[in-house]
Amino acid sequence: LIKYMYFCSSAFRLPVPKLEDTITRYLNAQKPLLNDDQFRKTEELAHHFEKGIGRELHEQLVAQDSQNKHTSYITGPWFDMYLKAREPVVLNFNAFMSFNPDPKSEYNDQLIRATNMTVSAIRFMKTFRAGYLEPEVFHLNPERSDTQIFKNIIRFVPSSLSWFGAYMVNAYPLDMSQYFRLFNSTRLPKLNKDELYTDEKAKHLLVLRNGNFYVFDVVDRDGNMLQPSEIQAHLKYILSDNSPAPAFPLGYLSSENRDTWALLRKNLLDNGNEEALQKVDSAVFCLSLDDFPVKDLVHLSHTMLHGDGANRWYDKSFNLIITKDGTAGINFEHSWGDGVAVLRFQNEIFKDSTTAPAISPQSQPASVDSSRAVQKLDFKLNDALKAGITKAKQKFDGTVETLSLNLVQVHEGGKNFLKQKKVSPDAVAQLAFQMAFFRQYNQTVATYESCSTAAFKHGRTETIRPASVHTKKCSEAFVRGASTHSTEELQKLIVECSKYHGRLTKEAAMGQGFDRHLFGLRHLALSKGVALPDFYQDQAYAQLNHNIISTSTLSSPAVQLGGFGPVVADGFGVGYQVHDDWIGCNVSSYPTRNGKEFLQCICKSLEDIFNVLKGKKIGS
């Protein structure tokens, strides 16, 4: 077995791009968003920055990076960005991914699934902590590298050279430094900047049901997992507890503005709740058991993205949510890590809980005294805390009420057909979003696509900028002038978009985007107390970072769908999956934008793109 730490010592460091490349890429991203006069002004500021203060900051960043070879240049600034943000984590940062149902329908019972997934999660944690979790490797050419032969050969390569050995066969071992925060971790609210807290010694699970908090040990003092039948017994006990919902559910506090929550937390601690809060913060993870079944995919998305606010603890590294009908999902806090780590965890626990379930529908819970093993946490609340919870609930309910979620599955085609036509599936999905927005609002706006840089030591993410002069030209041709262009001309425009998007994706994945570099330079200027350069005060810079279309994709046999809130009040949050034969989109929006209409425009765009690729004539 290759241990997950095996590749760490030889992992490549995240490169700091050349400043001139960053400026060129930045201007390329600005071009479709600005008119000629605006672009000239932005170009002038950018070149002035490149020759002057930008050059000085870049040199300082490179020097600082070479003195911190244990990490990446983006790590500190990126943690700061997340932890200094004062907005509530729910809807602004936390994302969700829901699991597919267990293929064996009788295993989708709430108690059975909660037990099996909890056991699989603890198995994963123990495997990881023992150092036996297989490395996460991205295989560009799986036929050559995702094989037993490769694993056998790479074992004999010294670990200091192992990354290079994998690289030779187009396999990229991914950074796994975030994984330790999956368990026993929480984000603590503090004034001005939150803290990440991890206590690996804690042995208990936190379970939320009906707004009540319960804890019980899932690992014994020797580090062994409790018997699955005991975990089943304790969960059954919690599910049959008919305690009323608390009049002031504490969960709402974790949905508050971070400074407000920090002050309320101090009040909680001063009011004799230190031990109970410590149990919450240090728990292995939070299991949220909901008392209702899921009605449809929209209801599923609302449940997993925000829920009712009382039965979640949004600050935990993740909440494993299981509804009355056994539908499961994960809502995760984003500061500690990215989707890559959470997805690996989800894939493993889905596979383990469905192929090697710890208990079956016939299994009997152990005859143990759960009333002694399970502790219901009791919080002492004064009037100020009660008022704080009431206000947090009002704000939470008010925000959630304004959130729209709209879903669609387009069955025109998917990965298989697009690859056959030699165009990138991701590029086509992104082109459809550009075309849809152009059809709906007659403009091209700042767009964000998340790309992992986990192929590098302590890599996080980089931004792909899908709105380009190519997508703008293509959108105009399809929306305004389809009748004046031949099918061949439209096909050519799609291919151009695909090639350009492919280039942007490759650059971003190799740490050669421009967003993180500019972000790092800005962070450095502010930390040194330098006056913020004019370049960053340009309205066009602010506009580019006001991401009206924010997108993220993932596909996995374990995941049914994923989603997140809009990152700006007048934006769309687009979670999408490109499957072999269909494309799924999950769009979030607030009242300033019509998500339903945007989704209809996406469907129309995908239909048009597929028809053109099939050689059919389309009308505007």
Structural domain contains residue 568: yes
- Average pLDDT for 230-235: 98
Query: According to the model, what pLDDT value does residue 151 have?
Result: 58
CB atoms within 10 A of CB 91: 23
- Average pLDDT for 257-283: 98
Return the minimum-mean-pLDDT range out of 106-115, 127-136, 245-254, 327-336.
127-136
334 in catalytic set? yes
- Among 146, 173, 200, the domain boundary falls at 173
From the list 334, 458, 470, 517, the catalytic residue is 334
**What is the greatest pairwise CA distance in the chain?**
77
What whole-number percentage of the chain has pLDDT above 90? Answer: 86
Q: Give per-residue pLDDT as tens, 482-523.
A: 889 999 999 999 999 999 999 999 999 999 999 999 999 999
Query: According to the model, what pLDDT value does residue 110 have?
Result: 98
Q: Give per-residue pLDDT as tens, 526-564.
A: 999 989 999 999 999 999 999 999 999 988 999 999 999
Give the integer Cα–Cα distance in Å for 132 and 119. Answer: 17
Which of 550, 618, 561, 537 shows the shortest CA–CA distance to 590? 550
Element (H, E) at 530: none
Half-sphere exposure of 268 (CA within 13 A, CB side): 25
Query: According to the model, what pLDDT value does residue 144 have?
Result: 53
Residue 156 has pLDDT above 60, yes or no: no
Structural domain contains residue 4: no
Query: According to the model, what pLDDT value does residue 203 have?
Result: 97
Residue 216 has pLDDT above 60, yes or no: yes
Q: For the chain, what is the domain count?
A: 3
144 and 42 in a common domain: no
Residue 137 has pLDDT above 80, yes or no: no
- The answer to whether 505 and 426 are in contact (CB under 8 A) is yes
378 and 409 in a common domain: no
387 and 238 in a common domain: yes
- The answer to whether 6 and 135 are in contact (CB under 8 A) is yes
- Among 150, 173, 196, the domain boundary falls at 173
Residue 391 has pLDDT above 50, yes or no: yes
Which of 377, 318, 77 shows the shortest CA–CA distance to 187? 318
Structural domain contains residue 327: yes
CB atoms within 10 A of CB 474: 24
Question: What order of strands is seen across the sheet that includes strand 286-289?
Answer: 375-376, 212-217, 204-209, 286-289, 318-322, 328-332, 95-99, 559-563
Residue 331 has pLDDT above 50, yes or no: yes
Q: What is the pTM of this model?
A: 0.93
Query: According to the model, what pLDDT value does residue 165 have?
Result: 52
239 and 193 in a common domain: yes
CATH of the domain at 127: 3.30.559.70
Residue 167's domain comprises: 137-173
193 and 52 in a common domain: no
Query: According to the model, what pLDDT value does residue 152 have?
Result: 56
Tell me the β-bridge partners of 318. 332
Q: Give per-residue pLDDT as tens, 251-261.
A: 999 999 999 99
CATH of the domain at 561: 3.30.559.10
Query: 239: helix, coil or strand?
Result: helix
Give the integer Cα–Cα distance in Å for 524 and 59. Answer: 11
pLDDT confidence bin for 155, thresholds 50/70/90: low
100 and 32 in a common domain: no
Structural domain contains residue 527: yes
346 and 203 in a common domain: yes
Tell me the β-bridge partners of 216. 205
Give the integer Cα–Cα distance in Å for 264 and 259. Answer: 9
126 and 151 in a common domain: no
Give the integer Cα–Cα distance in Å for 15 and 36. Answer: 33
Structural domain contains residue 6: no
Query: According to the model, what pLDDT value does residue 314 have?
Result: 98
Return the minimum-mean-pLDDT range out of 5-14, 21-30, 56-65, 551-560.
5-14
Tell me the β-bridge partners of 450. 463
Give the integer Cα–Cα distance in Å for 307 and 310. Answer: 8
Structural domain contains residue 349: yes
Residue 168 has pLDDT above 70, yes or no: no
Query: E-strand spans in 156-211?
Result: 171-173, 185-188, 195-198, 204-209
Query: According to the model, what pLDDT value does residue 6 have?
Result: 42
Query: According to the model, what pLDDT value does residue 175 have?
Result: 82
- Average pLDDT for 72-86: 94
Query: 185: helix, coil or strand?
Result: strand
Q: Which residues contact 595 (CB under 8 A, 6 or more apart)?
A: 404, 405, 406, 572, 587, 588, 589
Residue 293 has pLDDT above 80, yes or no: yes
Query: According to the model, what pLDDT value does residue 154 have?
Result: 47
